[in-house]
Amino acid sequence: MSSYAITRLVLTDFRNYGHMRVETDARPVVLTGHNGSGKTNLLEAVSFLTPGRGLRRAKLAEPANIAGSGNWAVAADVSSDEGTSTLGTGLVSDPAGQKHGETAGRRSVKIDGQSVSGSSALADRIKVNWLTPQMDRLFQEGAGGRRRFLDRLTYGFDPAHGKRTTVFEKVMRERNRLLKEGRQDPAWMGSLEKTLAETGIAISAARQETVRRLNAAMESDADSKVSEAFPKAVMALNGEVEELLTDRPALTAEDLFREKLAESRALDAKAGTTTVGPHRSDLSVLHKEKQTPANLCSTGEQKALLISIILADARVQAGQKGQAPILLLDEITAHLDQTRRQALFDEIEQMKTQAWMTGTDYELFADFGSRAQFLTVENGTVREMALGQ
Ligand SMILES: Nc1ncnc2c1ncn2[C@@H]1O[C@H](COP(=O)(O)OP(=O)(O)OP(=O)(O)O)[C@@H](O)[C@H]1O
Ligand SMILES: [Mg+2]
């Protein structure tokens, strides 16, 4: 059994890195270094190897090194049960298309040297999940962050989910545009809404399947160290589309969703948006033992709930597919006491997940010893830490 592991990572003009190359083995990776040295940037680079805009949700040109060419690139060798893949992504700028002083360009994605269109195909080759300090506010802020969190968990079980969400968003933008322009050709609208209904119901069903799977995993995990140290969470997905799917076959729900879309054209034209769909749903999380909604839990409790969910997901994937996802855990020790830190490290070791963890203090990770590899980040360079010095 082997998990997903990055064995080589190369960054070019990515944020504060000019050219950086590092080789890693399948063990967890601990990155330590001063504030501003480039730890989060390195995790962000790894996050770009998955569908979407990375862990900072950056605009395409933003990661380009300000002193560089304007392009950026991330490449990696990823090993898994299926063998080794070479993944690459980045910004290829197109000066001819430049307008209004913005960088024009496109995201390039390559898998084993072949260009592919869009980033969703990456979900077939690598599974990555992350927790960042910004996500400490996930339960306080808007539903979008929670949906993205759930969608990332869903890619792990169902790589087609990335494609589905991309198609849904693209077609929804098209519908919004037609409504705005007052072009309501019924056949055209009908065909867009048919696609929205099909993909929308599939998105909701896949998300609900993830929720069900993770709730079951957290429920059944009675006597592990993690369940002693971290609170159990109960997740639920709520929204109109979820209501349509309750106690109904997917095909019936699709028809109902399509009818709702058709009925809401006038309203949506006025609102300037599509008012019904899975892009409106919200993930709620309950602290099971306390029966308290996550948004009313303490900062440390909220972080612990997120860790419970991420670990439950990794455990299910490690158990069912034999391969745990790569975890990017930025400043993970910030709110954890020693018991929780220990439980987290033990779980990471047991699942054999290549967790990439950052911190300013080496000491907090010292318990890992030779079970992890230690890298020092300094001003956009990365080297192996000389232990024992
Ligand atoms: N596009 C860019 N070009 C060059 N440098 C950048 C770019 N974007 C961000 N930086 C710089 O990269 C540096 C490292 O940022 P990063 O967030 O990785 O630090 P860090 O090691 O995680 O620090 P902390 O411990 O404070 O979280 C920062 O000084 C930041 O200003
Ligand atoms: Mg950081």
What residue spans define the domains of the chain?
Answer: 1-127+337-389, 137-322
Q: Which two tokens stand for residue 96?
A: 């001819």
CA-closest residue to ligand 1 atom 11: 16
Q: Which residues surround ligand 2, an ion (CB under 5 A)?
A: 39-40
CB count in 10 Å sphere of residue 378: 12
DSSP 103: P
CA-closest residue to ligand 1 atom 27: 35
The answer, yes or no, to whether any atom of ligand 1 lies below 6 A from the CB of 35, is yes
Rounded to whole angstroms, how far apart are CA atoms 197 and 59? Answer: 29
- What is the per-residue pLDDT for 190? 96
The answer, yes or no, to whether any atom of ligand 1 lies below 6 A from the CB of 37, is yes
Is the CA virtual torsion 53, 205, 168, 164 positive or negative?
A: positive
* Ramachandran class of 220: left when φ > 0, alpha when ψ lies in -120 to 50, beta otherwise: alpha
> Average pLDDT, stretch 221-236?
84
Cα(378) to ligand 2 centroid in Å equals 12
Give residue 226's identity as a one-letter amino acid code. Answer: V
Region of poorest pLDDT, from 43-47, 74-78, 101-105, 146-150 = 101-105
Cα(36) to ligand 2 centroid in Å equals 7
Task: Answer for the pair 162, 123: CB distance below 8 angstroms, yes or no.
Answer: yes
- If we measure between CA atoms, which residue out of 148, 87, 102 comes closest to residue 282? 148
The answer, yes or no, to whether any atom of ligand 1 lies below 6 A from the CB of 63, is yes
Identify the nearest ligand to the CA of 59 by its number: 1
Rounded (5°) CA angle 63-64-66: 115
**Beta-bridge mates of residue 383:** 376
Residue 98 has pLDDT above 70, yes or no: no
pLDDT per residue as tens digits for the range 258-298: 999 999 999 999 999 999 999 999 999 999 999 999 999 99
Cα(232) to ligand 2 centroid in Å equals 27
**pLDDT-based confidence at residue 61 (cuts at 50, 70, 90):** very high
- Looking up tokens 């300090």, which residue turns up? 133
The answer, yes or no, to whether any atom of ligand 1 lies below 6 A from the CB of 330, is no
- What is the per-residue pLDDT for 95? 65
**Beta-bridge mates of residue 29:** 356, 373
Grouping H, G, I as helix, E, B as strand and the rest as coil, residue 154 is helix
- What is the per-residue pLDDT for 320? 81
What's this model's pTM, rounded to 2 decimal places?
0.93
pLDDT per residue as tens digits for the range 163-222: 999 999 999 999 999 999 998 789 999 999 999 999 999 999 999 999 999 999 998 876
**pLDDT-based confidence at residue 389 (cuts at 50, 70, 90):** very low
Task: Answer for the pair 182, 272: CB distance below 8 angstroms, yes or no.
Answer: no
Q: Which CATH code fits 1-127+337-389?
A: 3.40.50.300
Cα(336) to ligand 1 centroid in Å equals 24
Among 2.40.160.40, 3.30.70.890, 1.20.1050.90, 2.40.50.100, name the CATH number for the domain at 137-322: 1.20.1050.90
Residue 388 has pLDDT above 70, yes or no: no
The answer, yes or no, to whether any atom of ligand 1 lies below 6 A from the CB of 40, is yes
pLDDT per residue as tens digits for the range 318-374: 888 789 999 999 999 988 889 999 999 999 999 999 999 999 999 999 989 999 999
The answer, yes or no, to whether any atom of ligand 1 lies below 6 A from the CB of 13, is no
Number of H helices and E strands in the chain, helices first, is 10, 15
Cα(252) to ligand 1 centroid in Å equals 50
Residue 36 has pLDDT above 70, yes or no: yes
Would you mind telling me the total number of residues written for the chain in this entry? Answer: 389
Identify the nearest ligand to the CA of 33 by its number: 1
Which mutation among 32, 39, 135, 378 tests ligand 1's pocket best, with the greatest number of atoms within 8 A of CB? 39
Topology match between the domains 1-127+337-389 and 137-322 = no
Alpha helices, DSSP H only, in the chain? 39-47, 143-157, 160-180, 186-220, 225-229, 240-245, 250-263, 265-271, 299-320, 338-351
CA-closest residue to ligand 1 atom 8: 15
Which mutation among 40, 44, 378, 381 tests ligand 1's pocket best, with the greatest number of atoms within 8 A of CB? 40
**Beta-bridge mates of residue 282:** 238
DSSP 222: -
Rounded (5°) CA angle 62-64-68: 145
Mean of per-residue pLDDT scores for the chain: 93
The answer, yes or no, to whether any atom of ligand 1 lies below 6 A from the CB of 33, is yes
- If we measure between CA atoms, which residue out of 32, 22, 15 comes closest to residue 358? 32
- If we measure between CA atoms, which residue out of 360, 329, 378, 340 comes closest to residue 47? 329
CA-closest residue to ligand 1 atom 29: 36
Cα(330) to ligand 2 centroid in Å equals 7
Cα–Cα distance list, 376 to 38, 270, 361, 380, 381 (Å): 10, 54, 11, 10, 8
